[in-house]
Amino acid sequence: MTAPFGQRLADAVASRGPLCVGIDPHAALLDAWGLPDSADGVARFTDAVVDALAGSVAVLKPQIAFYERFGSRGLAVLEEGVARARAAGALVLLDAKRGDIGSTMAAYADYLRSDHPMRVDAMTISPYLGPGSLQPAVDTARQHGGGLFVLARTSNPDAGTLQHALVGDRSVAQVVVDTVRGWNTPGWVVGDPLPDPGALRDLATGFGPSTGSFGVVVGATLRDLDVDLSGLGGPVLAPGLGAQGGTVADLRRLFGDRAAVVPTVSRDVLGAGPDATALRVAAERWAEALAA
């Protein structure tokens, strides 16, 4: 049996630190690397990033859209890159942001299956068809030891249009966090009242043996943390460091020691390529800043 994602993530963070590096081979970055905007260019880009970082970084996060641009050839590149990254010891978080209902959601979640040809360790998903729509993904993750990160409080400029909307006396973003808290709470089942965060404030917050496999996405560039993460029980993926303006100080300001945070950097590391040494140095610089 595969150990649950939360446990594997905690182990990876303990040995490698919490840094997550995105793999985003968009056209402008391919051009900056001197590569063609083609499946071949994406393959050479992916190989370089995996070779440089998969042996030292805890999590690699490929964005599937940049591979789907090239159809089956692009997905074949991603499939090979995922397998090589995992073989080198990195956890792979597929940035897919999938969200649907019923059998369609279950099919999206198949990326977490142990028998899938492009099996990943975790994936990002979108909750805006309702919390119940995500249950097929939760079931697959539990069965195969996978993880999920649910979009909760993102920091794009108009995110609050939906995420601040109220459901009763809670924001939509808070309902998402509370739902994920439920998934990480032993004995909680769909249909039960969502767990009260106030009753869970004293639960362990950092990475450890009890880290849950279900987490949320909360932007590192928010002005203020306007959701209660108390007792979440799982990790927080915090994108936005580096080129998007987020800093280590922002992580400390927003989260302190209240959450098991997986900080994400993309362009600030990828922009150092294509030289492998430069990629490693850029990642190490962020890892050292986070450790400090």
Catalytic residues: 97
Q: Which two tokens stand for residue 259?
A: 């959450």
Q: Which two tokens stand for residue 175?
A: 């309902």
Q: What is the 3-state secondary structure (H, E, C) of the chain?
A: CCCCHHHHHHHHHHHHCCCEEEECCCHHHHHHCCCCCCHHHHHHHHHHHHHHHCCCCCEEEEECHHHHCCHHHHHHHHHHHHHHHHHCCCEEEEEEEECCCHHHHHHHHHHHCCCCCCCCCEEEECCCCCHHHHHHHHHHHHHHCCEEEEEEECCCCCCHHHHCCEECCEEHHHHHHHHHHHHHCCCCCECECCCCHHHHCCCCCCCCCCCCCEEEEECCCCCCCCCCCCCCCCEEEEEEECCCCECHHHHHHHHCCCCEEEEEECHHHHCCCCCHHHHHHHHHHHHHHHHC
